[in-house]
């Protein structure tokens, strides 16, 4: 496997032709150069801890073949690559080609020892270009909330992992406790907005607050996962309920 990324033909990107999906792809392409720094600034570096939790909950282990869907600039895929070791394989899949270019460059410059076990693939999360039962584990970070069809995204994750395999999905979550809900709103206004403004990306990051409001709550995500075919699902609130990890087993 190599750190360069593979372009898929248009048939693998069916939802990307829809106006909303195309807008989201263009957004993530635009923010690609600043994406890693913004994530560090907005989470005070904690996003790496949350991503590592998702990797552990996915059940990824030495020698496994894993996929990180909506991989962005590759942080979670790189964590998976460490987890599966020299005998494992990891595919990072995203439909934003500029994000994939950053992921490939970052691997080559900062993690060359992981290159052989990584492959970056341009792919639509709603129509993944992988065979059924291809992967031993799957992850997704901050991607499910942005899909134009969440149930279809879950069905695709279910389709491409093997029986008894797990998927771990990290994303923002709307806290149920009133004080934490107020804190999240303060965080979005006092941290996210100024950080985006600093990078000249206020408009690009304005989508976060309404997307969190629309995103299904933990128990709703569990129901959606079971409706998609998973035999079991559990949602773990983290960061005071402002984040969450959905863990679903095929």
pLDDT by residue (tens digit) across 27-48? 666 665 666 666 665 656 677 8
Instruction: Summarize pLDDT for 53-62 with one digit per residue, the tens.
Output: 999 999 999 9
Neighbours of 18 (CB within 10 A): 13
Beta strand spans in the chain (E)? 5-6, 65-69, 89-94, 118-122, 135-141, 161-172, 232-238, 243-249
* Domains of the chain, each with CATH number or no CATH: 5-171+216-249 (3.40.50.150)
Residue 81 tokens read as 């690559």
The predicted model gives 63-79 an average pLDDT of 95
Between these two residues, 196 and 10, which has the higher pLDDT value?
196
Cα angle value 35/167/135 (rounded, 5°): 100
Neighbours of 173 (CB within 10 A): 27
Helix (H, G, I), strand (E, B) or coil at 1: coil
With residue 75 as reference, give the H or E element that holds it: helix 75-84
Place of tokens 């792809």: 25
């Amino acid at each position: 496997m190599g750190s360069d990324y593979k372009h898929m033909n248009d048939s693998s990107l069916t939802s990307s032709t829809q106006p909303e999906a195309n807008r989201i792809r263009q957004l993530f392409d635009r923010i690609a150069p600043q994406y890693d720094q913004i994530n560090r600034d907005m989470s005070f570096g904690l996003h790496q801890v949350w991503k590592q939790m998702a990797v552990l909950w996915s059940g990824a282990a030495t020698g496994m073949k894993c996929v990180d869907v909506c991989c962005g600039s590759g942080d979670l895929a790189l964590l998976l690559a460490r987890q599966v070791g020299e005998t494992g394989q990891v595919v990072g899949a995203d439909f934003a080609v500029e994000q994939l270019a950053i992921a490939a460059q970052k691997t080559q410059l900062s993690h060359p020892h992981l290159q052989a076990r990584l492959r970056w693939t341009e792919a639509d999360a709603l129509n993944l270009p992988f065979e059924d039962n291809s992967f031993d584990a799957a992850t997704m970070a901050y991607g499910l909330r942005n899909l134009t069809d969440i149930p279809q995204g879950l069905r695709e994750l279910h389709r491409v992992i093997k029986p008894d395999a797990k998927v771990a999905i990290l994303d923002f979550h709307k806290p149920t406790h009133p004080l934490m809900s107020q804190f999240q709103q303060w965080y979005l206004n006092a941290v996210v907005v100024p950080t985006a403004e600093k990078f000249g990306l206020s408009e690009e990051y304005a989508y976060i607050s309404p997307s969190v409001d629309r995103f299904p709550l933990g128990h709703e995500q569990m129901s959606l996962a079971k409706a998609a075919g998973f035999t079991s699902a559990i949602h773990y609130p983290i960061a005071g309920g402002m984040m969450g990890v959905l863990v679903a087993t095929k």
